[in-house]
Amino acid sequence: MAPHAEIANGDGPVNRGGVSAPTNQKVTFKVQSPNVEYTESQIRSKYTYHTTEVSKVNGQYVAVPKETKYDFTVDTKVPKLGMMLVGWGGNNGSTVTAGIIANRRRLSWQTRRGEQKANYYGSLIMGSTIKLGTDAETRKDVNIPFHDLLPMVHPNDIVIGGWDISKLNLAESMDRAQVLEPGLKALVAKEMATMVPLPSIYYPDFIAANQEKRADNVLEGTKASMAHVEKIRQDIRDFKAANNLDRVIVQWTANTERFADLIEGVNDTADNLLKAIENGHPFINGSPQNTFVPGAVELAERHKAFVGGDDFKSGQTKMKSALVDFLINAGIKLTSVASYNHLGNNDGKNLSEQRQFRSKEISKSNVIDDMVEANTVLYAPGEKPDHTVVIKYMPAVGDDKRALDEYYAEIFLGGHQTISLFNVCEDSLLASPLIIDLVLITELFTRIKWKAASTDGAATKGFEGFHSVLSVLSYMLKAPLTPPGTPVVNALAKQRSALINIMRGCLGLQPESDMTLEHKLF
């Protein structure tokens, strides 16, 4: 069997040459506006972006409303999409694969609590709704599934493949992961046994030494070389051709690596770095290491390839990026955050070595910075809460990671508030929907183009894509990568509304302001 996935539909593998019809796209709404045009293949919109420009004049802020006009186009043909996972045989890789098969085949299975049906809970795109507007008659909110806001790939239609330094097939990997119920595993094992990860580049020095026994599926040679890079590029080309795909997105869900040293002449510029990005395949990093060294970002920019990362924001940090936003924006002075967790999966085993833990410690520690810096009433310049991150490997708990947090804050007149959280995160069941969201959003943004609208009739630059560093992915990531020189936003609510409002802008719709004046001024 070719070493890549063909997700079967239950009655044998998908015909290699056939193109499985995308799951029907429901057209649930249309925008009626002189600024929006629907063609056979595009949605075209004229959008006015309202901001407030602030300057300081004689020690006083002066705020000036500003309008910038953009033209957006969205190609509405949803492609046949492939997702290639680096680390496919891991807990996340095997879990997300089983989850997509289960949803695609609408499986249900028995658990000790009764029948369980497949679902996409925990996916922003597949499990949440957005406010489209207000009902013209009842004045009530009209909410629609997030997935229906713009034409998007359905995860059931994603073809999955990838690489792993472990040669176990996906059914064996699923058993090794010990994440899923036996009832579900039994229903998907047959398909998953036909899925075998491609051999990968293994550079022992980058991951924990305790991973060595796992590495029985590696490309010859102990150092990454151009031959290795060419082999990986050929794997992608072969996977795309074999599955008759329109697009492939590569996502790293392999082990956390140590940080890469930024070495002048090696990875500081595009010309000094591998040409892997030349094909233009988007690459998303679900782990915390600094994969996108300056040379990689420059190469992505040069080839207009999307990159995104770092580190899935799945449990403890996701909670933190919402709770810290609430506390500080409520005027409560957070003074310390102690985050401890222990887990017993292979990720935890890899993180038990200092250099790999350090990568994770960094990605988990910066998540409160933007919220603290924005509040100059509570914090003097440079002042920030104590913040510590501890991760311990405890095999007994397996994938059911325990996250224990203490938030300590100053409140009115010298009082204090202590919030203590005990959060059992089933790691891979929380991360797998994020793997799906990252791929769906990245693919959508490959079909969105923009240009500055002409205001005086003068010609403007042609349409182009979003910046190569796809910072709209930040909601799913602990340490969001942003275009060089642009600020990092970690506050969870801001990240979600930024993504929704950009997608609304592509439809010529203003951001949802939550002002609801229609319910206040009458």
Ligand X SMILES: O=P([O-])([O-])O[C@@H]1[C@@H](O)[C@H](O)[C@@H](O)[C@H](O)[C@@H]1O
Ligand Y SMILES: NC(=O)c1ccc[n+]([C@@H]2O[C@H](COP(=O)([O-])OP(=O)(O)OC[C@H]3O[C@@H](n4cnc5c(N)ncnc54)[C@H](O)[C@@H]3O)[C@@H](O)[C@H]2O)c1
Give the residue numbers marked as catalytic.
Answer: 311, 360, 401, 478
Q: Which residue has the tokens 């507007």?
A: 133
Query: Which residue in 314, 446, 490, 495 binds ligand Y (CB under 6 A)?
Result: 314
Instruction: Please state the closest distance from residue 342 (CB atom) to ligand X, in A.
Output: 8
In the bound state with ligand X, the residue whose beta carbon lies nearer, of 90 and 99, is 90
Query: Which residue in 200, 211, 253, 314 binds ligand X (CB under 6 A)?
Result: 314
In the bound state with ligand X, the residue whose beta carbon lies nearer, of 247 and 364, is 364
Binding mask 466-505 for ligand X (x = CB under 6 A): ------------x---------------------------
**Does 311 sit near ligand Y (CB under 6 A)?**
yes
**Alpha-carbon dihedral sign for residues 397, 88, 159, 497:** positive
**Does 343 sit near ligand X (CB under 6 A)?**
yes
- Please enumerate in sequence order all residues whose Cβ is within 8 A of that of 459, keeping only pairs 6 or more positions apart, or say none: none
Instruction: Please state the closest distance from residue 36 (CB atom) to ligand Y, in A.
Output: 38
Q: In this structure, how many other beta carbons lie within 10 angstroms of the beta carbon of residue 339? A: 23
In the bound state with ligand X, the residue whose beta carbon lies nearer, of 103 and 290, is 290
Stretch binding ligand X (CB under 6 A), from 39-47, 71-79, 314-322, 458-466:
314-322
316 binds, among ligand X, ligand Y, none (CB under 5 to 8 A by kind): ligand X
489 binds, among ligand X, ligand Y, none (CB under 5 to 8 A by kind): none
**Does 202 sit near ligand Y (CB under 6 A)?**
yes
Q: Are 113 and 198 in contact (CB under 8 A)?
A: no
Beta strands 114-117 and 333-343 are unpaired
In the bound state with ligand Y, the residue whose beta carbon lies nearer, of 109 and 206, is 206
89 binds, among ligand Y, ligand X, none (CB under 5 to 8 A by kind): ligand Y
Instruction: Please state the closest distance from residue 262 (CB atom) to ligand Y, in A.
Output: 20
Site size toward ligand Y (CB under 6 A) is: 34
Helix (H) or strand (E) holding 336: strand 333-343
Query: Which residue in 156, 166, 316, 490 binds ligand Y (CB under 6 A)?
Result: 166
Stretch binding ligand X (CB under 6 A), from 18-26, 42-50, 297-305, 343-351:
343-351
Instruction: Please state the closest distance from residue 431 (CB atom) to ligand Y, in A.
Output: 3
In the bound state with ligand Y, the residue whose beta carbon lies nearer, of 104 and 364, is 364
Question: Can you give the C-alpha Rg of the chain in angstroms?
Answer: 24
Query: Which residue in 316, 432, 442, 495 binds ligand X (CB under 6 A)?
Result: 316
Angle between helices 170-177 and 91-104 (to 10 degrees): 110
Site size toward ligand X (CB under 6 A) is: 18
**Does 317 sit near ligand X (CB under 6 A)?**
yes
- Please enumerate in sequence order all residues whose Cβ is within 8 A of that of 349, keeping only pairs 6 or more positions apart, or say none: 208, 210, 211, 393, 395
Residues counted in the chain? 522
Query: Which residue in 431, 441, 448, 491 binds ligand Y (CB under 6 A)?
Result: 431
The order of strands in the sheet holding 247-252 is: 159-163, 81-86, 247-252, 283-285, 307-309
**Alpha-carbon dihedral sign for residues 172, 173, 175, 176:** positive
Stretch binding ligand Y (CB under 6 A), from 74-82, 91-99, 105-113, 228-236:
91-99
Closest residue (Cβ) to ligand Y? 90
87 binds, among ligand X, ligand Y, none (CB under 5 to 8 A by kind): ligand Y
Query: Which residue in 3, 82, 89, 398 binds ligand Y (CB under 6 A)?
Result: 89
DSSP string, 50-104: EEEEEEEETTEEEEEEEEEEEEEEEE--PPPEEEEEETTTSHHHHHHHHHHHHHH
Stretch binding ligand Y (CB under 6 A), from 27-35, 131-139, 311-319, 389-397:
311-319
Residue type, 476: M
Q: Which residue has the tokens 């059992």?
A: 424
Q: Where are the alpha helices (DSSP H) in 282-405?
A: 294-302, 316-329, 346-351, 354-365, 369-373
**Does 191 sit near ligand X (CB under 6 A)?**
no
**Does 398 sit near ligand X (CB under 6 A)?**
no
**CA 288, CA 361: separation in Å to the nearest integer?**
9
**Does 287 sit near ligand Y (CB under 6 A)?**
yes
The tokens for 256 are 């956390």
Q: Are 153 and 440 in contact (CB under 8 A)?
A: yes
**Does 164 sit near ligand Y (CB under 6 A)?**
yes
The tokens for 38 are 């629907």
The tokens for 250 are 């590569």
364 binds, among ligand Y, ligand X, none (CB under 5 to 8 A by kind): ligand X
**Does 364 sit near ligand X (CB under 6 A)?**
yes
**Alpha-carbon dihedral sign for residues 134, 136, 139, 141:** negative
**CA 349, CA 346: separation in Å to the nearest integer?**
5
Residue type, 228: H
Q: Where are the alpha helices (DSSP H) in 415-460?
A: 427-445
Stretch binding ligand Y (CB under 6 A), from 90-98, 113-121, 276-284, 296-304:
90-98
Identify whether 310 is preceded by a cis peptide bond (ω within 30 of 0). yes
Between the alpha carbon of residue 197 and those of residues 87, 184, 204, 242, the distances in Å are 8, 21, 19, 15
Stretch binding ligand Y (CB under 6 A), from 96-104, 306-314, 413-421, 482-490:
306-314
- Torsion angle of the four alpha carbons 206, 210, 211, 213, in this order, in degrees rounded to the nearest 10: 130
| Interface positions with ligand X (CB under 6 A) | 313-317, 341, 343, 347-348, 351, 360, 364, 391, 401, 403, 425, 427, 478
| Interface positions with ligand Y (CB under 6 A) | 86-87, 89-93, 163-166, 200-202, 207, 214, 253-256, 286-287, 311-312, 314-315, 345-347, 350, 427-428, 430-431
